[in-house]
Structure 1
Amino acid sequence: MVGVLSNRVDRVAVAAGDHIYSWRAAYLYAHHGIYIGEAMVIHFTRATGHEIGTGTFLDRFLFSSSPAKEEGSPCQKCGHLIKHEGVIMSCLDCFLDGGNLYLFDYAVSPAFFLAKARGGTCTIAASDPADVVIHRAKYLLNNGFGMYSLFKNNCEDFAIYCKTGLLVETAFSVGRSGQLASLTAAFSAVASSPLRFLTTSAGGLAIVTSGMYCVGRYVSDIGVRRDVIKVPVERLVEHWAQDVSPAPQECHGHDDGGGGCGPELPS
């Protein structure tokens, strides 16, 4: 288990099947992937060089670790492997893109989880064995992980699914991403109108807000929420392959926020 203060690790400490990540844009967000050994990583990205697809000005300056650079020569180790979008495989250097290496922690205690005040670094859920994790990652590399969506189906969602096999089945919920869950919890804590009735002091307001933030993060974690099911990767991909893409008004799966469907859970 990594430390409470930092999940940063050396390369020699990472093993095949680990969920790793690297912070981007001055720690504004992180890009996640599955380390499969021999300094190679499988990860999920929206498009060449881009990590998000919000349709807003954010798309202009938030980028992923996709190593398919538009400028310069391709990486000699992994450049020939790179796809433009979706589930891709790249070397660890290209995944990190000059950033530091961090290890996502699994099966942490509730106290440890809440001590890590920022989401997207750990979960209470337990990881499956490394060989199962690598099998899922490689299978999705060859078959895809659906349409990328920042709020429903992002790189952290991909890595958490590979590690646990769990998918969220509630249609109007965010995905498994701890980063998005923490942002949602923070917004809810600040924006909730009942806060002003719970305390009249600045210190009390801070305590109440912090408490609501912690509760929001905790109940959104994949390890404690009840709207999740375990789905074998083969059945998930088979379901996608058989599903005919519906028109936007006919989408019965998870709205990806961009006019399409995220992964619809197989029955």
Structure 2
Amino acid sequence: MVRVLSNRVSREDIAAGDHIYSWRSAYIYAHHGIYAGDGMVIHFTRAAGHEIGTGTFMDKFLFSSSPATGDGPPCEKCGHLVKAEGVIMSCLDCFLDGGSLYLFDYSVSPTFFLAKARGGTCTMAPSDAAQVVVHRAQHLLNSGFGMYSLFKNNCEDFAIYCKTELLIETAFSLGRSGQMASLYAGFSAVASSPLRFMTTSVAGLAVVTSSMYCVGRYVSDMGVRRDVIKVPVERLVEHWVQNVTLAPAPSQATAQATQTDAAAPGDSPELLKELAKKECVI
């Protein structure tokens, strides 16, 4: 019952590989990371002014970077480790930035999941072993986790990937973040105007709206979604390259030029086929 009301824990209760978070800006949102042990946290941050890829008004009250990257003197413990953006390692104090410590739950039941009305606190998806989780986080500390996006690729998305190895298969789908899923579910519940006419009472309207909100959160959870795939961390960079299908496809002339550069004039048809297969590999 206590975990339903609050996921708050003490520092002695966390271990390497745990997904932890801390609320920011009067509980408007939370910043997430992976505890690496020895008082250090690996987390995904944005560059200043680039919360959703471009400068927006949200940058005035949304922040995720370690205080060590701010205007004050760097932290004596982790200031030399912290980068300006991307996947960084900082001490637990800098990660919390004066806030409380919370533990993200995995493999929760549907009942427990829906009882946690606020998203970004738990998931029905199972977690991998702690040493594997830390390995992924450390690997991404060196190789990066793509471009930060508040709605598609944020700190919670990073932590969930480290814990589960799951990525969204399609580029246009909602991200892994439970916080964003709750936001979308809330908007969808309010915007579902046809359902408002199913009842004329205030109580009935509340039931319909809350039901839509719960359904929206449930179907967006990584534990039940069907548009997710397991992508090993060693292949993650290749996955990003493949999904940068946001960029225009190369023209036929460019593709022909690439094939010409890849194969020498005397190459056999069999070798050309092998090269073509390699180009198709993720």
TM normalised by structure 2 equals 0.84
Give the Cα separation in 2 of the matches to 1:54 and 1:223: 31
Tell me how far 1:64 sits from its aligned partner.
1.4
User: What is the CA deviation profile of residues 221-264 of structure 1, one whole-angstrom value per residue up to 9, with x for unaligned ones?
Assistant: 00001000011000112444x66977x65279xxxxxxxxxxxx
Tell me how far 1:71 sits from its aligned partner.
2.1
The question of 1:250 aligning with 2:248 is answered yes
Give the Cα separation in 2 of the matches to 1:62 and 1:94: 16
Does the 8 Å contact 2:69/2:82 carry over to 1? no
Letter of the structure 2 residue corresponding to residue 186 of structure 1 = G
Matching residue of 2:165: 165
Gap regions ≥5 residues in structure 1: 253-265
Gap change, CA 1:75 and 1:243, over 3 Å in 2: same
Give the Cα separation in 2 of the matches to 1:35 and 1:232: 20
Does the 8 Å contact 1:44/1:87 carry over to 2? yes
Gap change, CA 1:226 and 1:243, over 3 Å in 2: closer
Greater alpha carbon shift after TM alignment, 168-177 vs 123-132 = 168-177
Gap change, CA 1:143 and 1:194, over 3 Å in 2: same
Gap change, CA 1:97 and 1:65, over 3 Å in 2: farther
Instruction: Find the residue that maps to 2:158 and give its secondary structure.
Output: helix
1:70-219 counterparts in 2 under 5 A? Answer: 70-219=70-219
Greater alpha carbon shift after TM alignment, 122-131 vs 52-61 = 52-61
Tell me how far 1:196 sits from its aligned partner.
1.9
Gap change, CA 1:74 and 1:81, over 3 Å in 2: same
Gap regions ≥5 residues in structure 2: 251-280
Instruction: Find the residue that maps to 2:209 and give its secondary structure.
Output: helix
Tell me how far 1:55 sits from its aligned partner.
3.4
Structure 1 or 2, whichever has the larger Rg, is: 2
Does the 8 Å contact 1:106/1:122 carry over to 2? yes
Greater alpha carbon shift after TM alignment, 27-36 vs 197-206 = 197-206
Tell me how far 1:61 sits from its aligned partner.
2.0
Gap change, CA 1:2 and 1:126, over 3 Å in 2: farther
Count matched residues.
Answer: 252
Gap change, CA 1:27 and 1:107, over 3 Å in 2: same
Tell me how far 1:67 sits from its aligned partner.
2.8
Instruction: Find the residue that maps to 1:32 and give its secondary structure.
Output: strand
Matching residue of 1:38: 38
Does the 8 Å contact 1:52/1:63 carry over to 2? no
Does the 8 Å contact 1:182/1:217 carry over to 2? yes
Instruction: Find the residue that maps to 1:148 and give its secondary structure.
Output: coil
Instruction: Find the residue that maps to 1:35 and give its secondary structure.
Output: strand
User: What is the CA deviation profile of residues 47-104 of structure 1, one whole-angstrom value per residue up to 9, with x for unaligned ones?
Assistant: 2597665632111221114233332211000000011100000000000000000000
User: What is the CA deviation profile of residues 167-207 of structure 1, one whole-angstrom value per residue up to 9, with x for unaligned ones?
Assistant: 01122211100000000000000011112221111110000
Matching residue of 1:4: 4
Task: Note the aligned Cα RMSD (angstroms).
Answer: 2.2
Gap change, CA 1:2 and 1:171, over 3 Å in 2: farther
Identity of aligned pairs, percent? 78
Letter of the structure 1 residue corresponding to residue 25 of structure 2 = A
TM normalised by structure 1 equals 0.88
Matching residue of 1:63: 63
Greater alpha carbon shift after TM alignment, 63-72 vs 115-124 = 63-72
Letter of the structure 2 residue corresponding to residue 89 of structure 1 = M
Give the Cα separation in 1 of the matches to 2:2 and 2:43: 22
Matching residue of 1:19: 19
Structure number with the higher helix fraction is 2
The question of 1:223 aligning with 2:196 is answered no
Greater alpha carbon shift after TM alignment, 165-174 vs 129-138 = 165-174
Does the 8 Å contact 1:31/1:156 carry over to 2? yes
Greater alpha carbon shift after TM alignment, 98-107 vs 68-77 = 68-77
Gap change, CA 1:53 and 1:31, over 3 Å in 2: farther
Instruction: Find the residue that maps to 1:88 and give its secondary structure.
Output: strand
